[in-house]
Amino acid sequence: MSKTHIVVGMSGGVDSSVAAWLLKQQGYHVTGVFMKNWDDYDDEHCPARQDFLDVLAVADVIGVDVEAVNFSEEYRERVFAYFLREYQAGRTPNPDVLCNAEIKFKAFLDYALSLGAERIATGHYAQVEHGATSRLLRAVDDTKDQSYFLYRLNQYQLSHTLFPLGGLRKTEVRAIAHQIGLPNAAKKDSTGICFIGERPFREFLQKYLPVQPGIMRTPEGKLVGQHQGLMFYTIGQRQGLGIGGAGEPWFVAAKDMVQNELIVVQGHDHPLLFRPELNAADLSWVSGRLPDLDAACSAKTRYRQADAACRAAMNDSGELHLTFDMPQWAVTSGQSAVVYRGAECLGGGIIV
């Protein structure tokens, strides 16, 4: 009887490497695929060549075949173009969300199935429960749970996906990597823009969008400084404002796109930094249909945030309306509002 063929997206990091090893140990026929999605070969901030070398070294240890596939065109058309449009409109997008839905679980999934694979696997910290309806669940390690970034996955995508690390803690994954002698066992976790990597953000963004400096003012109209371009700032931002003086630290509270002005306030707990409710559009539900919004639920308005109890309903414009039991800090348009019921991720949308 032939073994089930699983294609693992291998990035060169420890998580996807351990995911591939675990599946190999479980008896699957494993193939690794390294996704190249950014054609900036001379860019020191996009070390794709070193990552691929790390993948090859890992593959040699665990005994799997690996190939590289270039999805740069798909990434630029489906993800990066959206990323730029959102910043130009004054919003703060989350490219990882769209990258997962369009590249890792669409372009990559299609490619893997064309190889004859039955499923794909990644090193994401999340869980999927397969059945008549696939359910997306939080990872056991709540400090690493990545279901927030996966809420746009649909039933077809989830039914063809495995998350081998969903039941493990990050410390356990690191320990496994060291025990089996993976050459990247101590490699630091990747950060930065999905597939583009770590880089000076302002320098990168102004390569693609025009810079329009303007004034910073308080809600009362007092001029307190100059901003370098509204696209460089996000709601709740403290660092990089360049405002000195006495008193509490300054935070970005709003953007006036018409006047090209940045509205700033003093103090982390300033009332203008809190919102009791929000609307979200461009909705995506994991089950493929609108869930029962009358039942109790919680939501995240950004990744590094604890769940907040809320009431959910659809408004007359077809948007998701969330009302929180406690006002939420720095709710930001362009980010995702993701709805949970217990351990299950139901879906969500883009904050408008």
Catalytically annotated residue among 46, 99, 297, 310 = 99
Which pairing describes strands 274-285 and 223-227: parallel, antiparallel, or unpaired?
A: unpaired
297 carries an active-site annotation = no
Q: What are phi and psi of 131, to 5 degrees?
A: 180, -160
**Helix residue ranges per DSSP H, the chain:** 14-25, 48-62, 72-75, 81-88, 95-99, 108-114, 155-159, 170-179, 201-205
Catalytically annotated residue among 46, 194, 310, 345 = 194
Residue with tokens 């032939």: 2
Q: What are phi and psi of 235, to 5 degrees?
A: -60, 135
116/225 Cα distance (integer angstroms): 59
What secondary structure letter does DSSP report for 104?
A: I
Which pairing describes strands 161-162 and 214-217: parallel, antiparallel, or unpaired?
A: unpaired
Nearest to 145 by CA among 128, 129, 126, 161: 126
345 carries an active-site annotation = no
Q: Is 325 helix (H, G, I), strand (E, B) or coil?
A: strand
Tokens at 37, concatenated? 């999605």
Beta-bridged to residue 227, according to DSSP, are: 214
Give yes or no for a contact between 61 and 181, defined as CB atoms under 8 angstroms apart.
yes
| Cβ partners under 8 Å of residue 41, min gap 6 | 48, 49
Nearest to 285 by CA among 296, 276, 293: 293
Roughly what angle, to the nearest 10 degrees, separates helices 48-62 and 14-25?
Answer: 20
350/352 Cα distance (integer angstroms): 6
| Run of H or E residues at 227 | strand 223-227
Using CA atoms of 85, 89, 90, 95 in order, give the dihedral in degrees to the nearest 10.
-20
Residue type, 220: E
Q: Which residues are catalytic?
A: 99, 194
